[in-house]
Amino acid sequence: MCRYFLFISLLITAGISTAWAQQVPDSRPNFLIIVTDDMGYTDLGAFGGRDIPTPNLDRLARDGMRLTNFHAAPSCAPTRAMLFTGTGNHEAGMGSQLYYALFDGQYGYEGFLQPRVATLPEVMQANGYHTMMSGKWHIGDRDPTGRSLPANYGFDRDYTLLRGSDNHYGTTAQARYSLDGEVHRLTDPTYSTIRYTDKLLTFLDDHARRREPFFAVYAPTAPHWPLQTPPGREGRFSGTYNAGFDALCEARMAGALAEGILPANAATEQCNKESGPWQELASDEQQAYARAMEIHAAMVAHLDEQIGLILERLEASRQLDNTWIIYMNDNGPQGGGLLAAMVGGRDQDPVNNALDNLGKPDSWANIGQGWADAISSPFRNTKGTSFEGGMRVAAFAWHNNAVAARSMSGQFLTVMDIMPTVLDLAGIEPPDGSFGGRDVMPLRGRSMAPLLTTRQGRIHGEEEAIALDHSGNRMMVRGEWKIVQLPRQAWMLFNMVEDPSERNDLAAAMPEQLERMVSIFNGFARERHYIEVNAAINQP
């Protein structure tokens, strides 16, 4: 596995001649992992969007390898748990980010990262990397000891939002952040993406005086609700979405087809629809919806501009050419209501969701189901579900000369693959049964390095089953087959080669294939102590 930079790695890990090693720059690559929050599959230009300028991410995506069949978990916290541990969300302790009263304290549902897994930052740190993170953590807020801060999982520097969301202007009194290992109450009303960028730039500037390579995570919360306009971007997309979400859906799918990122047999003749038609909305509802999408677009465009600042800084410090950049979004876009009660007023802050106030710091809106459908098409459904629209996310890997440039892969890949990939590219052996003096579980992910560097190699085999559960939203992929279950519903069966949009449930037509898949899933679920929640959850 240690194909890269073995010599330097040996010097550092064996502690041989550390004085010499400190004087010689460590030539191993840097890593920048970018994780965005609740974006649509087609929001980026490189994934088909033509309505939001995203030139920085587009350039990296098009010059690197676009991973068009990459899967996160159905929602934020399990995805982050899998990203940072290279294994399943239950193994990591994040079996659910919902229904805590039902799950709390049970194995797999502890609500914060468990010592039975090793984390990517702690392995990188132990192998001589300088580690830093700025953005959303969301995998420690349930720890009663309050010790589940990024600094205790291997980050040398951190500035993070500890829970899943906050007012982007930081005005929610209850929100807790971490700053370099300490809980931090925010007093700075600067817009979230700018705060996260500024802190990462500070960490990078401080690192520039060091000789070891860096491992950095940038995980801004835009465009997760509440939809709030970045400063100076008011009116930026005014009128762009007046034709409605059905028209946007058609435009996005046409763009995605033109980019060549969609699988054969994707259902592009009609949109993924959970919402009603645009034309049936009243005029004032249409205005509110259009306004919400204008804000979403402004948040995404601003996010891309901020990423441009990070790239500029890496270029100025001459580190960009030796940096791997891996981008992924964390789950599908959020459907549901536009001005839903679940988001408005969750912290008893005063909320003004009048049309002319939407996007301001005291408004609290979501894009709603219609836009979420439009920007996840041609994949089925949206965030929270184990359909493709909830889990299949835009992703790419970039390196100035090591990656197979201007390439794409439609292989099934998962967020669990990122940890073994980074370790492989850094020449670090993955933990094998123990790490840091404790027993740890094996990684379930596999290194994508051969694919990224040579375009060769199948990462997950035909017989390999990749299963996941989050709060009763379950799925398993094996070869061309996928089974899907939503809470309190029957299993569905799809052939992902013939029907990647999951339109044709084959459960009734192919009972033996379904039974075979469910049997494998059930064995997997027993081993990992998945809790059967379908009958227990009383909520829709």
Q: Which residues are catalytic?
A: 76, 138
* Minimum gap (Å) between residue 322 Cβ and Ca ion: 30
By the rule CB under 5 A, 330 interacts with Ca ion: yes
Contact of 219 with 136, CB cutoff 8 Å: yes
What is the sign, positive or negative, of the torsion defined by CA atoms of 55, 61, 62, 64? positive
C-beta of 29 vs 88, nearer to Ca ion = 88
Only one of the segments 175-183, 329-337, 398-406, 462-470 lies at the binding site for Ca ion (rule: CB under 5 A); that segment is 329-337
Nearest partner of 214 among 202, 232, 196, judged by Cα = 202
Return the bridge partners of 66, or none.
Answer: 396, 408
**Burial class, 209, CB count within 10 angstroms (exposed 0-12 / middle 13-18 / buried 19+):** exposed
Rounded to 5°, the CA angle 235-239-245 comes to: 120
Name the phi and psi angles at 110, rounded to 5: -65, -25
* Minimum gap (Å) between residue 57 Cβ and Ca ion: 17
Please identify which residue in 228, 229, 319, 331 interacts with Ca ion, judged by CB under 5 A: 331
C-beta of 72 vs 248, nearer to Ca ion = 72
- Residue least distant from Ca ion (Cβ): 76
Q: How far apart are CA 96 and CA 110, in angstroms?
A: 9
Strand pairing report for 323-329 and 30-36 = parallel
Q: How far apart are CA 331 and CA 117, in angstroms?
A: 22
C-beta of 85 vs 331, nearer to Ca ion = 331
Which two tokens mark 101? 């009263």
By the rule CB under 5 A, 294 interacts with Ca ion: no
Q: How far apart are CA 431 and CA 443, in angstroms?
A: 8
Only one of the segments 34-42, 93-101, 166-174, 186-194 lies at the binding site for Ca ion (rule: CB under 5 A); that segment is 34-42
C-beta of 38 vs 502, nearer to Ca ion = 38
Please name the residue that has the structure tokens 């017989």. 463
Which two tokens mark 262? 């969609």
By the rule CB under 5 A, 38 interacts with Ca ion: yes
* Minimum gap (Å) between residue 164 Cβ and Ca ion: 8
Only one of the segments 24-32, 132-140, 228-236, 330-338 lies at the binding site for Ca ion (rule: CB under 5 A); that segment is 330-338
Contact of 275 with 246, CB cutoff 8 Å: no
C-beta of 37 vs 499, nearer to Ca ion = 37
Question: Dihedral, CA atoms, 135, 376, 93, 142, nearest 10 degrees?
Answer: 50
Contact of 332 with 381, CB cutoff 8 Å: yes
* Minimum gap (Å) between residue 317 Cβ and Ca ion: 30
C-beta of 38 vs 469, nearer to Ca ion = 38
* Minimum gap (Å) between residue 182 Cβ and Ca ion: 25
Name the phi and psi angles at 6, rounded to 5: -60, -40
CA atoms within 13 A on the CB side of 140: 21
Only one of the segments 68-76, 293-301, 305-313, 354-362 lies at the binding site for Ca ion (rule: CB under 5 A); that segment is 68-76
Nearest partner of 158 among 177, 140, 144, judged by Cα = 177
Q: Which of residues 139-158 bind Ca ion (CB under 5 A)?
A: none
Cis peptide before 223 (omega within 30 of 0): yes
* Minimum gap (Å) between residue 341 Cβ and Ca ion: 20
C-beta of 73 vs 314, nearer to Ca ion = 73
The set of residues, in sequence order, having a beta carbon less than 8 Å from that of 376 and lying 6+ positions away, is 40, 41, 42, 272, 332, 333, 382, 389
The set of residues, in sequence order, having a beta carbon less than 8 Å from that of 280 and lying 6+ positions away, is none
C-beta of 332 vs 427, nearer to Ca ion = 332
* Minimum gap (Å) between residue 80 Cβ and Ca ion: 9
Only one of the segments 76-84, 225-233, 302-310, 484-492 lies at the binding site for Ca ion (rule: CB under 5 A); that segment is 76-84
Calculate the CA 538 to chain-centre distance: 28
* Minimum gap (Å) between residue 404 Cβ and Ca ion: 29
Only one of the segments 207-215, 229-237, 324-332, 456-464 lies at the binding site for Ca ion (rule: CB under 5 A); that segment is 324-332
* Minimum gap (Å) between residue 314 Cβ and Ca ion: 25
Per DSSP, helices labelled H in 113-213 are 120-126, 192-207
* Minimum gap (Å) between residue 79 Cβ and Ca ion: 7
C-beta of 128 vs 140, nearer to Ca ion = 140
Please identify which residue in 52, 76, 204, 375 interacts with Ca ion, judged by CB under 5 A: 76
C-beta of 9 vs 96, nearer to Ca ion = 96
What is the sign, positive or negative, of the torsion defined by CA atoms of 195, 200, 201, 206? positive
Nearest partner of 63 among 394, 314, 396, judged by Cα = 396
Which two tokens mark 453? 């560097």
Only one of the segments 312-320, 323-331, 352-360, 526-534 lies at the binding site for Ca ion (rule: CB under 5 A); that segment is 323-331
Number of residues that bind Ca ion (CB under 5 A): 5
For Ca ion, the binding residues (CB under 5 A) are: 37-38, 76, 330-331
